[in-house]
Amino acid sequence: MIAAFLLPFPLRGHRAPYLWVYYRLLSSIGERMLFIAGEDYTRDPQHWQDAKRWELQPGNAQRLGYRVPTREQIAGHAYRFLGEAVFTALLAECGGNPIAAFRRLLSERVACLDAAFADILAQPGARDIEAILTWCNCPSLEAAAAARGIPVVHLEIGPLRWPHYRPTAYLDFCGVNGNTEAERRYLASGFGAQGFDIDALRRFFHPADLPASSPRYGLGVALQVEDDSNLIAFGNGFDNQAMLAYAQLRERHDVLVRAHPGSLFTLKPGGYTVDDSADSIAFIRRCERLLTINSSVGLEALLLDMPVEVLGDCAHRFIAEAPDAQERAARLAFYLFAYLVPMALIFDAGYLRFRLARPTEAAIVVRHLDAYLGGDVRRHGLDGGVDEAIQGALRFSLAVSTPQ
């Protein structure tokens, strides 16, 4: 049985914060699951409709690939709930500060969570768990699972997203956003492939024409959502305000700052220009280099062969820190085709079990190319080593005009 941990507490002000993930799993996995979550997730969807939650608004289910479940579908799965007492204890330990509580849950073991997870995984039904899926780092969960020999699979929407890119996702056995295995896998693979062209890599994931490059600003600064887990737990002490000060100390003029579309606050000019570009690609094209804590805009800039400085922890930092252009292209190729996963696959039970079997990097790349190119890549001679498969895919993709 595949289990899933869904953040049970309203640490950012909203209950059932991963409601769409829950609905997508119910729609896609196709078998009985165990959910370790809060009871809010199992509320009748009409409750969330009445609350005007975005997950129930027109178009979002189609965009993210789920169907709103029936009561019968919800009842067809197993559940273990983390109750309000655990939330209250966690909040009390953090002086009532929900963001501080979120940071602790993401980055350290917490006694009340240790006990709750240990109790859940000690129950008889837990013996059938093959793996636990999670959309956030949680050291207490990871420790309890490790004690039982249960792998934890960290998942999240990837940095390249529809409608501009082929949609991607993260799948990582060590962490998501922070503490990831991306660099370790690259180094262990011995991948040192030569001759990758960054523009060809970009065209595979973003085949459309780029807006004209007009680098009027020496530095672009990409801000992030203030309560995003990337920022509060994996920013190496930086937040948006600290990054702006850092940018202005290093570049007193020609700084273009882009607010995150999901920010709750309005960005005001203050010794820099506020970006008004239509999208992140247009923003990048206005700058000579990019500064970010750990935003996915950094990965987009790397795809456009722009110098990027990453202040926080994130999976693509090792690409930005490559010693030369050839190594940067090789790291980017591995990251795009071996590390990132086609979005649909992280909700596919067969693919999850494929990864639990720890296949070779070459096998992973071929599986990904199958999904991206819509068929058996072996028909196109793409089943050699990792670098041969990727190079073959880039050649073959010249005939593919629309992202899958």
Q: What is the DSSP secondary-structure string of 73-101?
A: HHHTSEEEE--HHHHHHHHHHTTT-HHHH
In sequence order, which ranges of 267-324 are alpha helices (DSSP H)? 280-284, 297-303, 317-320
pLDDT at 297 over 80: yes
pLDDT at 208 over 60: yes
Q: Are 166 and 160 in contact (CB under 8 A)?
A: yes
Give the angle 91-97-98 at the CA atoms, nearest 5°. 70
Structure confidence by residue, pLDDT tens digits, 210-244: 988 888 999 999 999 999 998 999 999 999 999 99
Confidence tier at 384 by pLDDT (50, 70, 90): low
Q: 3-state class of 213 per DSSP? A: coil
Segment 283-303 mean pLDDT: 96
- Residue 84's pLDDT is what? 92
- Residue 126's pLDDT is what? 87
Confidence tier at 401 by pLDDT (50, 70, 90): very low
Question: Smallest Cα–Cα separation from 195: which of 376, 395, 384, 366?
Answer: 395
Mean pLDDT of the chain: 91
Structure confidence by residue, pLDDT tens digits, 44-70: 999 999 999 999 998 999 999 999 999
Segment 272-288 mean pLDDT: 95
pLDDT at 366 over 80: yes
In sequence order, which ranges of 190-341 are alpha helices (DSSP H)? 198-205, 229-234, 240-250, 280-284, 297-303, 317-320, 325-334
Confidence tier at 403 by pLDDT (50, 70, 90): very low
pLDDT at 192 over 80: no
- Tell me the one-letter amino acid at 232: I
- Residue 362's pLDDT is what? 86
Q: Are 1 and 75 in contact (CB under 8 A)?
A: no
- Tell me the one-letter amino acid at 37: A
- Tell me the one-letter amino acid at 266: T
CA 289 to chain CA centroid, Å, is 23
pLDDT at 383 over 70: no
Give the helix/strand (H/E) hosting 133: strand 131-134
Do β-strands 308-310 and 341-342 pair in parallel, antiparallel, or remain unpaired?
unpaired
Beta bridge partners of 131: 2
pLDDT at 391 over 50: yes
Gap between the Cα atoms of 396 and 389, Å rounded: 10
In this prediction, what percent of the chain has a pLDDT beyond 70? 92
Cα separation of the two ends of the chain: 29
Regarding pTM above 0.85, the answer is: yes
Query: Higher-confidence residue: 212 or 322?
Result: 322
In this prediction, what percent of the chain has a pLDDT beyond 90? 77
Q: Are 55 and 65 in contact (CB under 8 A)?
A: no
pLDDT at 307 over 50: yes
Question: Smallest Cα–Cα separation from 336: which of 387, 400, 279, 399?
Answer: 387
Give percent helix, percent strand, percent coil of the chain, each to the nearest 5. Answer: 45, 10, 40
Give the angle 340-22-13 at the CA atoms, nearest 5°. 100
Do β-strands 255-258 and 290-292 pair in parallel, antiparallel, or remain unpaired?
unpaired
Question: Smallest Cα–Cα separation from 344: which of 136, 162, 80, 190?
Answer: 162
Structure confidence by residue, pLDDT tens digits, 78-126: 999 998 999 999 999 999 999 999 999 999 999 999 999 999 999 988 8
- Tell me the one-letter amino acid at 193: A
- Residue 376's pLDDT is what? 58
